[in-house]
Each structure stands twice: as structure tokens, then as C-alpha cells.
């Protein structure tokens, strides 16, 4: 394997916001998890645990989550960012605008942007959703380890042409998720990963995000 194989895989992956309904074979999902678990974690604690839905379980979850969002109050286990400023605000805006432009939501169209945001809670039509949790006692480092796992999951999935999207939006309704899936209060629900096969022609999948150059990432010393 060469670095350019890895580059190709990374370049092919993107967050999918419109899925076809076809299920991913269970053996392929197991293969994705088996690959993703190879990532490093502090003390090799491997804090990630997944609940993965398929078929009617996904449909029941999609419906219950949408109902919860309409009546419930967002309360994530892991505090959401308190703000995005400077370059982080710029990047956040430009990926938001790219999405809205792709789906035809004009700047200032609050109803249109809210409707697009709500698609998070129908899991963008994905046939599967993985709920990612970490032991509360492992704190931020457990979450950090799980971040590596989530990235590896998305790449392993991409290698099987399975499209993914990590979703913090779903985790914002953590009390509901604990109840719905019977996930103990000793675990932090970090995010969801909705996945399946991409509806490649859908406008929501018609844009790509960019990345800052290496010179903006590294401050060389010596
Ligand atoms: C931890 C995490 C949470 C995310 N939550 C959401 C989300 O709730 N809704 C959404 O549309 N995208 C979400 N994303 C996707 C990001 O917006 C996306 O990764 C970023 O814009 C870069 O685009 P790309 O994944 O297509 O390369 C999330 C990504 C990560 C890693």
C-alpha cells in the first residue's frame, strides 16, 4: 500500500447528506468495525461502543428522534462548542454556504436552512445509524480516542463504497438516546454516524469541502 492509496481513500470520502434506502450487508458492517478498531487509544482502552440500527429499528429511531426534536430540548452529554471565531467561523460558514448553495437555499432563507438542518434527524434517509459512546470516566481523552475511531470507520466504509456522515446534531438529544437505546448514564453519547449507499445525484452530495494548507497547520521549530 502506498501513501497515495490512502490519499485517494481520504479524497473519496465526504459527508453524505442523501442516501439510497438499500441496506448494507451485515458482514460489510462488521468488516468496517473490525478495521476501524485498529486505531490507537490511550492505554489501549478502546473506549468506543456502538449501537447500530438496521431495517425497522432505523425507521423507528428516525421517527422517534424527529418527534423528540419537535417537542424536546437539546441537551448533549459532551458540551457543544461555545463559539466559533476567526478562521474557525470562516470555515464553518463556508461549509454551511456550500451545502445551502448545493441544495438551493438562499442566504437569509431561515425556513430553508432550518428544513435542511432538520434532515439531520431523519438521518438523511440512511438505512443505518451507529450511536457512538464512550465511558464518562474517560472524559475528554475517551472522546478523543473515539474521534479517531469515527474517522477510521468513515474511511473503512469508503473503501467498501459505503457513504457516511458523523452527526453531532443527533447526539444533542442525548437523554432521548440514552432512553431509546438503553445506553447507561455512565457513558457519554458522542455522535451518530449515519451510513449506507450514497444517492450520488442528489444536490446535497454535490459539493466538497476544502482544507487549509500544511503551512497553516504546522508551526515549524528547527
Ligand atoms: C464529530 C463530527 C460531527 C459532525 N456533525 C455533523 C452534523 O451534525 N450534521 C452535519 O450535517 N454534518 C456533521 N458533520 C460533518 C462535517 O460538517 C464535515 O465533516 C465537514 O464539513 C467536512 O466535510 P467532509 O466530511 O465532507 O469532508 C460532523 C463531522 C464530525 C467529524
Phi, psi of 187 (to 5 degrees): -120, 145
Number of domains in the chain: 1
Please state the atom number of ligand 1 nearest to the C-alpha of residue 124: 11
- What residue owns the CA closest to ligand 1's atom 5? 167
- What residue owns the CA closest to ligand 1's atom 21? 95
pLDDT tens-digit readout, 131-147: 999 999 999 999 999 99
Residue 93 has pLDDT above 90, yes or no: yes
Ligand 1 mean position, distance from CA 95 (Å): 9
39 occurs within a structural domain: yes
Query: Is 209 near ligand 1, meaning CB less than 6 Å away?
Result: yes
Query: Is 191 near ligand 1, meaning CB less than 6 Å away?
Result: yes
The rounded mean pLDDT for the chain is 98
220 occurs within a structural domain: no
145 occurs within a structural domain: yes
- Domain harbouring 165, CATH code: 3.40.109.10
Query: Is 95 near ligand 1, meaning CB less than 6 Å away?
Result: yes
The whole-number pLDDT of residue 214 equals 98
Label residue 72 by pLDDT band (50, 70, 90): confident
107 occurs within a structural domain: no
Query: Average pLDDT, stretch 173-178?
Result: 98
CA gap 178, 171 in Å, rounded = 10
Chain Cα centroid distance, residue 27: 21
Ligand 1 mean position, distance from CA 199 (Å): 17
CA gap 114, 117 in Å, rounded = 5
Q: Which domain holds residue 172?
A: 14-79+122-207
111 occurs within a structural domain: no
The whole-number pLDDT of residue 123 equals 98
C-alpha dihedral sign at 45, 185, 74, 55: positive
Please state the atom number of ligand 1 nearest to the C-alpha of residue 190: 1
117 occurs within a structural domain: no
Cell 448533549 belongs to residue: 76
Spatial CB neighbours of 18, under 8 Å, sequence gap ≥ 6: 124, 125, 198, 199, 202, 203, 204, 205
Contact assessment for residue 163 and residue 127, using Cβ atoms and an 8 Å cutoff: no
Query: Average pLDDT, stretch 107-120?
Result: 96
Contact assessment for residue 134 and residue 187, using Cβ atoms and an 8 Å cutoff: yes
26 occurs within a structural domain: yes
Amino acid at each position: 500500500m502506498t501513501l497515495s492509496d490512502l490519499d485517494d481513500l481520504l479524497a473519496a470520502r465526504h459527508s453524505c447528506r442523501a442516501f439510497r434506502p438499500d441496506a448494507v450487508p451485515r458482514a460489510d458492517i462488521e468488516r468496517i468495525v473490525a478495521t476501524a478498531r485498529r486505531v490507537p487509544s490511550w492505554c489501549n482502552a478502546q473506549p468506543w461502543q456502538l449501537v447500530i440500527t438496521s431495517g425497522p429499528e432505523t425507521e423507528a429511531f428516525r421517527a422517534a428522534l424527529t418527534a423528540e426534536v419537535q417537542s424536546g430540548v437539546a441537551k448533549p452529554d459532551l458540551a457543544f462548542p461555545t463559539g466559533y471565531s476567526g478562521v474557525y467561523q470562516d470555515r464553518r460558514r463556508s461549509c454551511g454556504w456550500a451545502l445551502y448553495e448545493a441544495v438551493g437555499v438562499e442566504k437569509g432563507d431561515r425556513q430553508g436552512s432550518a428544513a435542511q438542518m432538520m434532515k439531520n434527524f431523519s438521518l438523511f434517509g440512511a438505512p443505518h445509524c451507529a450511536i457512538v459512546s464512550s465511558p464518562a470516566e474517560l472524559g475528554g481523552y475517551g472522546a478523543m480516542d473515539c474521534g479517531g475511531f469515527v474517522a477510521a470507520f468513515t474511511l473503512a466504509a469508503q473503501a467498501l463504497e459505503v457513504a457516511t456522515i458523523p452527526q453531532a446534531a443527533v447526539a444533542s438529544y442525548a437523554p432521548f438516546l440514552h432512553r431509546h437505546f438503553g445506553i447507561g448514564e455512565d457513558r457519554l453519547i458522542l455522535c451518530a454516524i449515519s451510513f449506507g449507499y450514497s444517492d450520488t445525484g442528489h444536490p446535497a452530495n454535490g459539493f466538497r469541502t476544502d482544507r487549509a494548507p500544511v503551512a497553516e497547520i504546522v508551526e515549524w521549530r528547527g
